Structure 1
Amino acid sequence: MEYFNPVAMFVAAVSAMVVGFIWYNPKTFGNAWMQASGMTDEKIKSGNMAKIFGLSFLFSFLLSIALPGIVIHQMGVMSLVGGDSSVALPSYEALLVDYGDAFRTFKHGAFHGVLTGVFIALPIIGINALFERKSAKYIFINAGYWIVTLAVMGAIICGWK
C-alpha cells in the first residue's frame, strides 16, 4: 500500500493557499484580522509578496508531508516495521489486507485535520499570541483558519488514494 500521494500533498498545499485567500479576504475575516494583528495597508503593500506566498506554499507543503502520519491510520501500522515492509512478518501483510483502506475517507481525514487544528495549531497560536499580547479575536481568527485548513488538507490527504 502506498500512503504518500505526492499529487494529493501538492493539492493539499494549494488548498491551504485557497482557504487563506477566502479566510483573510476583507469580506470574511480580513478586516478583523488586520485590526487584531495591528496590520495596515501600508505594511501589506511593503511586503515582498512573491517571497511571502512562495514560503507560505513551501510551509504548507511541509505540513502536507507531515499529515499522512496524523490522518491515515495505516501509517501507524507501517511505523511498526520502520517503514520497510520487506522486513515485516506475514501478519503485517494480513493486517493490511484486512484493514488497508479502513477509515481512508475524506470525512475521516477532515475529522483528524480538525483535531490537529484544535489540539496542535490552537495551543501554539494561543501561546504565541499571549506572549505577543494579542487579543482573543486574533487567536480565534488565526486558529480558525488553521482548523479549517487542516480539515481540508486532512480530507485531501486521507481520502485521495
Structure 2
Amino acid sequence: MIMNLLATLLAALVTLPIGFIWYNPKVFGTVWMRESGMTEEKAKGANMVKVFGLTILFSFMIAFMLNQIVIHQVGAVQLAGGDPAKALPSFHAFMEDYKDAHRSFGHGVLHGVIAGIFFALPLIAINSLFERKSWKYILINAGYFIVSLGIMGGIICAWK
C-alpha cells in the first residue's frame, strides 16, 4: 500500500504549529483579526476542544487526499485496478523501475504548494468575495494553506 498512515497523520498535525505561527499577533494574527472581524472576546468564547478536534479531522481529510496528489505511484496503482496483487506483470515491472521516483520532500512541497494555489486559494477567494472580505484576508488565509499544504505534501511524499 502506498499511503503511509503515520505520515498522513503527522502531515495533518503539522497544520497546528503552522497555524500558531501564522496567526500569531507578531506575524499575521493582528491583521487577520481586524480583517475577519474577530475579537478577543469572540476568540475566548470558542469551544477550543471542538475547534482543534475538527481542525485535526479536516486536516487529516486534506492529508488523505494529498497522498493522491503528491505520490505519483498512486496513479499506477489506480490504473491497475487498485489491487497490486491482481495486476499484470507489466505493472510490477513498472513499479520496480519507478518505485521511488519523485519521492522526496521537495517534490511533495512542490505539489502541495500547487494544490494550495490552485485549490485552496480559489476556494477561499470565492467564499471571501461573496462575504465581502478584503484581499488581505484572502491572502492571509490562502497563504496559510499554501504553506501548510506544501509542508504536508513534503512529509507525505518523503516518508516511505
TM-score grouping bracket, smaller chain normalisation: over 0.9
Q: Give the corresponding residue for 1:48.
A: 47
Pairwise CA RMSD of aligned residues? 0.7
Q: Give the corresponding residue for 1:107.
A: 106
**Deviation at residue 137 of structure 1 after TM alignment:** 0.3
Deviations 1:80-136 (A, max 9, x none): 022111221110000000001000000000000000000000000000000000000
**Deviation at residue 53 of structure 1 after TM alignment:** 0.5
1:148 paired with 2:155, answer no
SS of the residue corresponding to residue 82 of structure 2 reads coil
Q: With structure 1 as the length reference, what TM-score do the two structures score?
A: 0.98
1:74 and 1:6 map into 2 onto residues whose CA distance is 16
What residue identity is the alignment partner of 1:157?
I
Verify the 8 A CA contact 2:81 2:87 in the aligned structure 1: no
What residue identity is the alignment partner of 2:131?
E
Deviates more, 1:149-158 or 1:58-67: 58-67
Query: How do residues 44-83 of structure 1 correspond to structure 2 at under 5 angstroms?
Result: 44-83=43-82
1:123 and 1:63 map into 2 onto residues whose CA distance is 16
1:143 and 1:156 map into 2 onto residues whose CA distance is 20
Q: Give the corresponding residue for 1:6.
A: 5
Deviations 1:26-59 (A, max 9, x none): 1110001001101000110111011001110111
Unaligned runs of 5+ in 1: none
Q: Give the corresponding residue for 1:157.
A: 156
Q: With structure 2 as the length reference, what TM-score do the two structures score?
A: 0.98
Verify the 8 A CA contact 2:73 2:99 in the aligned structure 1: yes
Regions of 4+ moved over 3 Å: none
Identity of aligned pairs, percent? 57
Unaligned runs of 5+ in 2: none
1:97 paired with 2:96, answer yes
